[in-house]
Structure 1
Amino acid sequence: MKKILLCFSLTVCLLSAVTIDELVKNTNENNYDLKSIDKSIEVANHQISLSKKWQNPTLSLGLNDLWLNDLSSRDKEAMQASFIGLSQVIPTGSKLEIKEKIAQKDRNIQILNLEDKKLELESKVYEYVYTILLLEKKYNLLESYEQNIKKLEALFTSLYKYQKVTQNEILNSQISALDIGLQKQNLKNMIDNSYLKLEQITYTKIDKIDENIDIKKINLLTIKQEHPKFKTLEEMANKSKNMADLEAEKKIPDLMLNVAYFQRDSKFNDYVNVSVSFPLPIYDTENTARLQAKMNMNETNDRLEQLKHNFSMQGEILKNSLNSSYTNYNLIEEKIIPIKEKIQKNIETYNSFDKIKPQESIKNLNELISYETKAIDELQKYYEAYSALLYFTNKGIK
């Protein structure tokens, strides 16, 4: 029966545990920052449709040649008429096609903003997940050492009866136990807050995380040129180029076609007025606006090159930090901790033969706790760098 209950408990734990991939999926589906950008993309799609349409025509209604001393009279002379007119701007050249391209660039920028936000949130998910796992690992470590400290306290209490230790040594062991309790409380608060931060972006209530802690050295780093931040600036530069092209097209002005029907008294014939008007490009405003658009394009291209350089340098910095933490972790785990464990075993053995003072045991044990904690700290630094690299390399190290 106990075996059945144990298997059932393990099954429930596994079912309730979530993986990073599941959390990333939940974030992409539920995060309202992403939903907001999705709405912006929908708006941009409508703007593309609108960009291809002509301006709405203008309707004019009116009365001509009103006599102030006889407003109701409409048959005094031939100029008196009621009219209805329509005015329509007729685009010339490739203005509508260029406006459509500009609207498409705006839509593409929003799509790239969405990809960039997803990448940023995925990086945060990785950071929070491994922060939680390592803090929990540190908490469990302190719990096991807390039990050892309590055993030492009991040993000191027993030895005190035979006057082999002082009362201060018993009190110091109690302080060590209380200090570990304090560290545990701080860790618990950090763990709880990290879970809340993860829930904040994933909109998922999380009880347990199912991920392995597996580190490796990074030898080759690839900063992908398809990073959404790069592509966004490329689209912005292309948009500025299109705006410069649009200003050049404005040198051939749009036409304003005006048609009006005039209805007169029955003594006179009705008539129609037709006219065409257009602005004269004599003040060179189009060239000024075109030059400004080209300057914006050049500025954006410079920003793009600077961003690529910054990403490359930041990637190298993070890679160095990651590899340094990897080396430090292995040094602590494979060299220092085994030596400290051997020393602890020797101390406990010699202590039973009264060849070493009992307080040496607690001193070495505290040092062992310190190195175990340092190893976890190196893991945390590793995964902080790893999570950031996911963003800067566009998952080039995943």
Structure 2
Amino acid sequence: MRTFFLLLCALSLYGSSFSEIKEMIRNNPELRSLKNLAEAKNEEAVLSGKLENPSLKIFANDINLQQPFSRDIEAMQSQGIILTQKIPTAGKLDYLKNADISLKEAKEYEYELLLKRLFLEADIVTFKISAIEKKLLLLKEYNRLIDYTSRLLEQYSQSLGTPHTAIIKAEILKSNIDTQTIKLQNLKKRYLEKLSSITASKISSIEREMKIYEIKNRDFYEKKLLSHPGLKIIKKLMQAKKERINYYKAQKTPDIGVSAGYFNRENRDDYISVSLSFKLPIYGREDLKTSISMKELSSLEKIYENEKLKLRFGLRSAFIKAEDSLKRYKIVDEIIQRDLSHQMDIVIQNLAANTAMAENAVEVIEKTLKFELEKVDILYEFNSAMSEISYYSGDEL
């Protein structure tokens, strides 16, 4: 009978696997929005490396109001075109382009971070649904067992006059099992709806295994913290800010404005003109912009350190939860295997032949069910904690 229980608890519903759910998550609207923004940032980086469009000026000067269409009245009358182009100096275009490339990469890491968060959320939800399924299987089997016990107790009460106390206990236990079953069924529906919301797809059932395994040393996970996309985002923002600082410093070297014009005159020689223009960095604007950006960079460095602390705390908290649940699982499993399993086997084997055993059966069934359900809860806690560890350490979920 015990083996039968374990087999029942190990069963999973055939449904969407977690690998399929991960693919569905990529359809999440927020994820698609971030992906589009990353693509836009990539085009911005391309745009930053291009020269500004030249300006073209077409003119006709010294128009005589008495003879507006006569263009040979005086030597100053001319018409023509002027082409002007701004030419950046000191590598400014490269600085702007590199800054936008870093911002684009930061946006890509934002996508990766959100994807990992959604994977973690879905991971924990699927473990929760799996735990509910295991509990429902347990409750269903123990409900059958308590029904069988109740019928025997009714028979003993009618034929031998045994006390009704055991019958009342059996009815209370059955009522509790029925109540728990209804609550778990409704809870399962809620978690399936939540999973459907995360994946932007309808999920009616899932197939997810929960298991217990030994945990590696905490240092093994902490060494991977720096690969977390949350930190990579800040690193890329820092790189972009450094490129901006270089750009503002380069602005002390003025860009060159080149203008070339062609002038036409009626009955006179045509001529051309060439001019150069510069913005003079005399008011200290570039130094102020550099100073502001350096303060912003310093702020980002502090944010980076703070984010590392938050990730380390999250990892260590998850590690403590995993260690705690692993220890508790072993204790509860040992109680079930060593004590309650033996008692249950005796109860099941002697239930129909022993009046006293039938009266004691309700207590044994209730106690065993309690530990079996607790074991499932601990199994869920362990697997969800390990998912959190994978999230914080940057491992794939």
Q: Is 1:100 matched with 2:104?
A: no
Pick aligned residue for 1:110 from 104, 107, 110: 107
TM-score by length of 1: 0.85
1:237 aligned to 2:238? yes
Q: How many residues align?
A: 381
Residues 1:216 and 1:21: Cα distance change in structure 2 (over 3 Å):
farther
Partner of 2:3: none
Give the aligned residue type for 1:272.
I
Distance in 1 separating the partners of 2:355 and 2:121: 53
Matches within 5 A, 1:143-162: 143-162=140-159
1:326 CA drift (Å): 0.8
Question: Which one-letter code corresponds to 2:48 in the other structure?
Answer: S
Give the 3 Å change call, closer, same or farther, for CA 227–357 of structure 1 in structure 2.
Answer: closer
Please state how far the C-alpha of 1:149 moved relative to its aligned partner: 1.8
Structure 1 position 151, deviation (Å): 1.6
**Greater displacement, 201-210 / 125-134:** 201-210
Q: How does 1:134-173 map to 2 (within 5 A)?
A: 134-162=131-159, 163-166=161-164, 170=167, 172-173=169-170
Q: How many Å apart are 1:331 and its aligned residue?
A: 0.6
**Pairing 1:271-286 to 2, within 5 Å after superposition:** 271-286=271-286
Partner Cα distance (1:363, 1:147) in 2 = 15
How far is 1:37 from its partner? Answer: 3.1
SS in 1 for 2:84: strand
| Aligned AA (1:121) | L
Q: Which residue of 1 aligns with 2:265?
A: 264
- Are residues 355 and 212 of structure 1, via their aligned partners in 2, closer, same or farther at CA, if it must alter by over 3 Å? closer
In the alignment, the residues of structure 2 paired with residue 42 and residue 354 of structure 1 have an alpha-carbon distance, to the nearest angstrom, of: 75
- Tell me which stretches of 4 or more aligned residues in structure 1 moved more than 6 Å: none
Q: CA deviation at 1:170?
A: 4.0
Residue 299 (structure 1) shift: 1.2
Summarize the alignment of residues 1-398 of structure 1 with structure 2, pairs less than 5 Å apart: 17-28=15-26, 30-68=27-65, 71-162=68-159, 163-166=161-164, 170=167, 172-202=169-199, 203=201, 205=203, 207-209=205-207, 211=209, 213-220=211-218, 221-223=220-222, 224=224, 225-266=226-267, 268-335=268-335, 338-343=338-343, 349=350, 353-355=354-356, 358=359, 360-395=360-395
Structure-1 separation of matches of 2:169 and 2:212: 38
Deviates more, 1:207-216 or 1:110-119: 207-216
Query: Cα distance 1:343–1:187, how it changes in 2: closer, same or farther (>3 A)?
Result: same
Contact 1:218/1:319, CA 8 A, preserved across alignment? no
CA drift at 1:51 = 1.9
1:124 touches 1:387 (CA, 8 Å); kept in 2? no
Contact between 2:152 and 2:352, CA under 8 Å: does it hold in 1? no
What is the DSSP-based 3-state SS (H/G/I as helix, E as strand, rest coil) of the residue aligned with 1:222? helix
Question: How far is 1:26 from its partner?
Answer: 4.7
Cα deviation, residue 270, structure 1: 2.9
| Amino acid in structure 2 at the alignment position of 1:90 | I
Deviations 1:331-374 (Å, cap 9, x if unpaired)? Answer: 1111256423444566675995555782x432342232222111
CA distance in 1, matches of 2:319, 2:353: 48
Distance 1:356 1:22 in 2: 49
**Structure 1 CA distance for aligned equivalents of residues 339 and 187 of structure 2:** 31
Check conservation: 2:210, 2:380, Cα contact below 8 A: no
Q: Secondary structure at the match of 2:258?
A: strand
TM-superposed CA distance for 1:235, in Å, is 1.2
One-letter identity of the residue aligned with 1:52: G
Deviates more, 1:74-83 or 1:168-177: 168-177
- Larger mean Cα displacement after TM superposition, 240-249 or 273-282: 273-282
Task: After superposing the two structures, state which structure 1 stretch, 57-66 or 33-42, moved more.
Answer: 33-42
Three-state SS of the structure 2 residue aligned to 1:181 is: helix
Amino acid at match of 1:42: E
Structure 2 distance, partners of 1:63, 1:173, is: 106
The Cα of 1:93 is off from its aligned counterpart by 1.4
What amino acid sits opposite 1:295 in the alignment? K
Report if the CA contact (8 A) 2:210-2:379 is conserved.
Answer: no
More divergent stretch after superposition (372-381 vs 172-181): 172-181
Which moved further from structure 2: 15-24 or 114-123?
A: 15-24
Do the aligned partners of 1:253 and 1:278 also contact (CA within 8 Å) in 2? yes
Alpha-carbon distance in structure 1 between the residues aligned to 2:379 and 2:83: 74
CA distance in 2, matches of 1:175, 1:211: 32
> What is the one-letter code of the residue matched to 1:243?
R
The amino acid of 1:165's aligned partner reads: P
Residues 280-306 of structure 1, C-alpha deviation per residue, up to 9 Å, x if partnerless?
A: 101111011111111111111111111
- Aligned to 1:283, the other structure's residue is in SS state coil
Residue deviations 1:130-152, cap 9 Å, x none?
Answer: 22221111110111111122122
TM-score if structure 2 supplies the norm length? 0.85
In the TM superposition, residue 32 of structure 1 has moved relative to its aligned partner by 4.3
Looking at structure 2, the residues matched to 371 and 178 of structure 1 have their Cα atoms a distance apart, in angstroms, of 18
> Any idea what the Cα deviations from partners look like across 1:44-64, whole Å, max 9, x if unmatched?
332232222110001112332
Unaligned residue ranges in structure 2 (runs of 5+)? 1-10
Q: Percent of counterpart pairs with the same letter?
A: 23
Distance 2:256 2:215 in 1: 66
Say whether the 8 Å CA contact 1:156–1:165 is kept in structure 2: no
Aligned partners of 2:229 and 2:361: how far apart in 1?
56
- Counterpart for residue 8 of structure 2: none
Alpha-carbon separation, structure 1, partners of 2:369 and 2:284: 76
Shift of the alpha carbon at 1:391?
0.7
| Superposition deviation, residue 273 in structure 1 | 2.7
Tell me what 1:7 maps to: none
